[in-house]
Chains A and B, each alone.
Chain A
């Protein structure tokens, strides 16, 4: 099997195909600390792409409540269990010369253990129908008396107290650098676009083998029963290309990003090096958040697909859970997010100020507006400005750390 370099693992790994990388890569950062699970992203995607017959249980974008929720149910627990069975006790990270390296096995390497049928090139499993049927089952359901379906408590005056932690995990296809779905397709019907790294299923080539569904560790490829063809998130590519009528020829963020009312999402296109690492692009906000500030981390990097979705981890969640979900770097990411420097604070203001893709930004220092302490540490806040630029270097918008206040002149008081 060919060897490819996976920078998220800090090492080479086996992959069924030779490495090939796009010029730019579709990537995104989700700030979990701000997600309120309003499901606006879910519905924006659903109403755009998956509202037809046969797609009733198909949700390319979803938000699930962790640790107990999942779509399909228990997707991450199941694949983690399979990996543990393949490599008992070996799924660990080591630190050498200050850099982390994954010592365990990826879904491609563990496939040799033959826990799945002989023909599988990737370790995975095929979810059962009932696991797809109810995307948020048991997450926010009213609780009724035991054994009496659809009978809710009529006198409940108090919500149950959450005695444990939880958080909302928004998910779409990660448009991985080494996609499991692509590796598993026996017909090569799945491909990665050379211009933006978006992973697509060629609908004319797919024959519904469902190897991709079995192989994608994030379970983001879905089978449509009436056409008997697999479908997946297309990263709203007409918008990303700038071909959507709304975009006026400018690259635009996806529907799920644009609909995010919690302003947790930022999407972009990062430059790639020939070896699959990201080319240095210091003032691309995605590059900055992932490689400079290092506050955004990949989801389950140990799967080995090099996902291009990055998350700012939730600061209140027990660390062992976060280490498992986001790999090493969690402590540092949370520390930096909770005590941001001036640039990071400014870049965080870029989230959802525009629906156009930001290709670079400029940071301009502003006056001091606050001095005090926060959680026992001295804090100084400056009203810095961040300016966002588009594909051709044109200014998209500029915003400040402090939200501007517009005072209405007294003469208009109580009038329209």
Chain B
């Protein structure tokens, strides 16, 4: 029994295959048909299939019915619209798969690569697949679905665009807790550039600008003085590159100092003294491990075997390991029962 239904269409002179998970198709049709003027007709057709006695024949008939009504109700129309907007999508990938998200957290699109060899430098069109996870409810709301697709597909466009130069993964240095901060900053910056482009085309309401501006100011609080210019740079201008977003996310002050136009006249807050090699956060108070007790050094090395005791660590990490050693030393309080 098949799991997918495919819709082939031609865009920019190329044939392209969009596939939908059958469960998604069925659920979307059942939801949208509620109260639809043609509900009676649909029900009449569907009711008849319940009379089939052969389970396989019955299952196939249900699938065909839902596929037919999915097309009849034009539920895939927003997908075709979006693919026509950005030719790179059909030129650089060969297939787009829509599957049912098990939870709202899974909703989104991603690019999957079928790399034959690990060191293979160039990937062909047939080795790239777009996978979109969504709920049937989202698929039924055509205007919201269109906005969702535009957002997600513009991210995919960036991933495919050589100028943007997308690379998966972050530099090695950003492992540990700092990795999450970097990921979060990068995500926010990338979303700003994506929504900025959609906003310029008039596809998003003006409120989106304010929402992103608020997020931007919360994410980069040290840039308050230049907030408007910087936000406008990412939201209104472009094109931007992966490297640019990443270096800004890693260290905005350093990035500003390196840029000629936007950094001119920028009064940054004093930058940190350096990075703590344990927690990977920038710190103003780095201390020399030579001053630490031997026990503490052993403890730290147990958890960070690659750490060189010559490298400075921050006060917060020192406090943490000192507190832990106190817990180990503490004796249990004598029970008051006996």
Which residues from chain A sit less than 8 Å from chain B, CB to CB? Answer: 116-120, 126, 128-130, 133-134, 147, 207-210, 225, 228
Q: B135 near A209 (CB under 8 angstroms)?
A: no
Q: B31 near A126 (CB under 8 angstroms)?
A: yes
Q: A130 near B103 (CB under 8 angstroms)?
A: yes
Q: How far is the CA of A377 from the CA of B31 in the complex (A)?
A: 58
Q: B46 near A207 (CB under 8 angstroms)?
A: yes
Q: Which residues of A contact B101 (CB under 8 A)?
A: 130
Q: A128 near B135 (CB under 8 angstroms)?
A: yes
Query: Residue among B31, B34, B35 with the most chain A CB within 10 A?
Result: B34
Add 13 more A-B contacts to A118-B35, A228-B50 (CB < 8 A).
Answer: A116-B35, A119-B34, A126-B31, A128-B135, A128-B137, A129-B27, A129-B102, A129-B136, A207-B50, A208-B46, A209-B43, A210-B30, A225-B23
Contact of B35 among A117, A207, A225 (CB under 8 A): A117
- The answer to whether the Cβ of B39 comes within 8 Å of any Cβ in the partner chain is yes
Which chain A residue has the least Cβ–Cβ distance from B100?
A129
Q: How far is the CA of A207 from the CA of B39 in the complex (A)?
A: 14
Contact of A130 among B30, B47, B102 (CB under 8 A): B102
- The answer to whether the Cβ of B104 comes within 8 Å of any Cβ in the partner chain is yes
Q: How far is the CA of A129 from the CA of B134 in the complex (A)?
A: 12
For window 14-40 of B, CB contacts with A under 8 Å fall at 23, 27, 30-31, 34-35, 39
- The answer to whether the Cβ of B62 comes within 8 Å of any Cβ in the partner chain is yes
Query: Residue among A120, A207, A210 with the most chain B CB within 10 A?
Result: A207
Contact of A133 with B35 at beta-carbon distance under 8 Å, contacts A128-B135, A209-B43 already known = no
- The answer to whether the Cβ of B180 comes within 8 Å of any Cβ in the partner chain is yes
Which residues from chain B sit less than 8 Å from chain A, CB to CB? Answer: 23, 27, 30-31, 34-35, 39, 43, 46-47, 50, 62, 100-104, 135-137, 180
Which chain B residue has the least Cβ–Cβ distance from A207?
B47
Q: Which residues of B contact A120 (CB under 8 A)?
A: 35
Q: Which residues of B contact A128 (CB under 8 A)?
A: 135-137
CB distance from B30 to the nearest CB of A (A): 7
CB distance from A195 to the nearest CB of B (A): 28
Chain A, interface SS category = loop
10 A-B pairs (CB sep. < 8 Å): A117-B34, A118-B35, A119-B35, A126-B31, A128-B135, A129-B100, A130-B102, A207-B43, A210-B30, A228-B50
Q: How far is the CA of A120 from the CA of B35 in the complex (A)?
A: 8
Q: B46 near A126 (CB under 8 angstroms)?
A: no
Q: Which residues of B contact A134 (CB under 8 A)?
A: 103
Q: B104 near A130 (CB under 8 angstroms)?
A: yes
Q: How far is the CA of A207 from the CA of B27 in the complex (A)?
A: 15
Q: Which residues of B contact A147 (CB under 8 A)?
A: 180
Which chain B residue has the least Cβ–Cβ distance from A204?
B50
Which chain A residue has the least Cβ–Cβ distance from B39?
A119
What are the nearest 6 A-B pairs in CB distance?
Answer: A117-B35, A117-B34, A207-B47, A130-B103, A128-B137, A147-B180
Q: How far is the CA of A207 from the CA of B43 in the complex (A)?
A: 9
Q: How far is the CA of A225 from the CA of B103 in the complex (A)?
A: 17
Q: Which residues of B contact A133 (CB under 8 A)?
A: 102-103
Which chain A residue has the least Cβ–Cβ distance from B40?
A119
Q: How far is the CA of A130 from the CA of B102 in the complex (A)?
A: 6
Q: Which residues of B contact A210 (CB under 8 A)?
A: 30
Q: Which residues of B contact A130 (CB under 8 A)?
A: 101-104, 135
Q: Which residues of B contact A119 (CB under 8 A)?
A: 34-35, 39
Q: How far is the CA of A209 from the CA of B50 in the complex (A)?
A: 12
Which chain B residue has the least Cβ–Cβ distance from A228?
B62
Q: B135 near A129 (CB under 8 angstroms)?
A: yes
Q: How far is the CA of A68 from the CA of B100 in the complex (A)?
A: 26
CB distance from A84 to the nearest CB of B (A): 22
Q: B34 near A126 (CB under 8 angstroms)?
A: yes
CB distance from A156 to the nearest CB of B (A): 13
Q: Which residues of B contact A129 (CB under 8 A)?
A: 27, 100, 102, 135-136
Which chain A residue has the least Cβ–Cβ distance from B36?
A117
Q: Which residues of A contact B50 (CB under 8 A)?
A: 207, 228
CB distance from B69 to the nearest CB of A (A): 14
CB distance from B150 to the nearest CB of A (A): 23
